[in-house]
Amino acid sequence: MRSEPFDAIVVGGGLVGAAIAWGLQRQGLATVLLDEGDTAFRASRGNFGLVWVQSKGLGAPWYQRWTRASAAEWPALAAELGARTGEDLGLRQPGGVHLCLSDREMADREARMARMRQEAGNQPYEYRMIAAPELRQMLPGLGPEVVGASWTPYDGHANPLRLLHALHTAFAGAGGTYVPEARVGEGQAAPRDFAVTAGGRRFAAPRIVLAAGLGNADLAPRFGLSAPVRPQRGQVLVTERAAEVLPMPTTTIRQTQEGSLMLGDSMEEVGFDIRQTPDVMRQIAGRAVRCFPWIGRLAIVRAWSALRVMAPDGLPVYDESARFPGAFTANCHSGVTLAGAHARLLAPMIAAGRLDPMLDRFTAGRFDVRAAS
């Protein structure tokens, strides 16, 4: 079989792969994007849609910086994708709150936010702990159990399906080659010389980026990389549409630009099980109603579950293969939040053939017992 030559192969057509592929194509690299098909778990079809900063990276300031860098890139990403595709990504970054339903939750949150600021070092980290009386002026119809919230100006949300669609449309529009039903079969690796078969074709390139979500766990070792990711289930409930009422998202409740209230989110260690469970749905709905009792009067019209791509420590994994330079992995559970960084920061690094030192701490080498000891 003859190889089709490209400048870069990206494996995985979800948010991570599509953002990187678009970023590479945008840099002028002829890029092929291999998408497994609808047998894949498709975390990118189940996202909650937060562009979220305030909870990310406690004890890992490099992750806080990366997340904030991505949130800062988001307006330019949304503007550029909007201009190229006509797609309105629904990006709103009005700040966000984490609601606390007890004094204990509030105290824990305050300690967490103080530590986040400390870890931000020289970079300002603006946040406020807001007690209920003031919070009631900011958010309509708060429940009596809400004692307060943490707030940062960095948080926001967007429509994840439109983001995925816009990335694919922009990628194709810029001349990128999208190949559906293309599960990677055979692969050959040599430094800056890679070939894979997929969908009955063969592709070759001096760069390959593994962004296959949970599929990376099996794929990475074949390219001298490691991606010890596991599934973590999240369930989401969606209400009927209502007139705009929430001025900003919370960690687990957001109102979409169309008016639906989205309620999340569970973190369940249940393996490759994408079923939904009434007890978890009840918990999600219950907490939402404690936060905003009026949500209880809205009908739930949809619900789903999806599997996060989770590393052992919950942080992203980015690596370049030491054995086969030119092979990269990108793994994370925040495909929406990190889309700005993936398209506009990571892709240029991959195009240049070298990850920036700011990503050093994200190496999978951190899970290597010998390296850690």
Partner 1 sequence: MFAPRPDRTGRGARRQAAPAARVEVFVDDVALRVPEGASAAAAVLLAGAALIRETPASGAPRLPYCLMGICFDCLAEIDGVANRQACLVQVVPGMRIATQRGARVAFAG
Q: Which of 223, 253, 32, 36 is nearest to 146 (CA)?
A: 253
Among the listed residues 122, 144, 279, 299, the single contact to partner 1 using CB under 8 A: 299
> Is residue 298 near partner 1 by the rule CB under 8 A?
yes
| Residue 220 per-residue DSSP state | G
Among the listed residues 5, 140, 221, 286, the single contact to partner 1 using CB under 8 A: 140
Other CB atoms closer than 10 Å to residue 367's CB: what's the count? 15
> Is residue 295 near partner 1 by the rule CB under 8 A?
yes
Minimum distance, C-beta of residue 130 to partner 1, in the bound complex (Å): 19
Among the listed residues 128, 201, 241, 287, the single contact to partner 1 using CB under 8 A: 241
Partners of 328 in the β-ladder: 209, 320
Backbone angles phi, psi at 11, to 5 degrees: -100, 115
Angle, helices 103-119 vs 61-85, to 10°: value is 90
Contact string (CB under 8 A) for partner 1, positions 65-94, x = contact: ------------------------------
Minimum distance, C-beta of residue 140 to partner 1, in the bound complex (Å): 5
Among the listed residues 103, 108, 134, 258, the single contact to partner 1 using CB under 8 A: 258
> Is residue 291 near partner 1 by the rule CB under 8 A?
no
Among the listed residues 147, 172, 204, 242, the single contact to partner 1 using CB under 8 A: 242
Contact string (CB under 8 A) for partner 1, positions 89-128, x = contact: ----------------------------------------
> Of the ranges 27-35, 113-121, 147-155, 292-300, which one interacts with partner 1 (CB under 8 A)?
292-300
Angle, helices 160-173 vs 61-85, to 10°: value is 60
Q: Which is nearer to partner 1, 259 or 348 (CB)?
A: 259
Partners of 34 in the β-ladder: 11, 179
Among the listed residues 172, 245, 267, 274, the single contact to partner 1 using CB under 8 A: 245
> Is residue 1 near partner 1 by the rule CB under 8 A?
no
Backbone angles phi, psi at 369, to 5 degrees: -60, -40
Query: Are the C-beta atoms of residues 89 and 159 closer than 8 Å to each other?
Result: yes
Minimum distance, C-beta of residue 49 to partner 1, in the bound complex (Å): 19
284: CB partners within 8 A, 6+ apart:
235, 236, 237, 252, 263, 264, 265, 266
Q: Count residues contacting partner 1 (CB under 8 A)? A: 18
Q: Which of 52, 63, 164, 160 is nearest to 98 (CA)?
A: 52
Residues 194-223 that bind partner 1 (CB under 8 A): none
The rounded distance, in Å, linking the Cα atoms of 204 and 208 is 9
Could you list the residues that contact partner 1 (CB under 8 A)? 140-141, 240-245, 258-259, 261, 292, 294-295, 297-299, 301
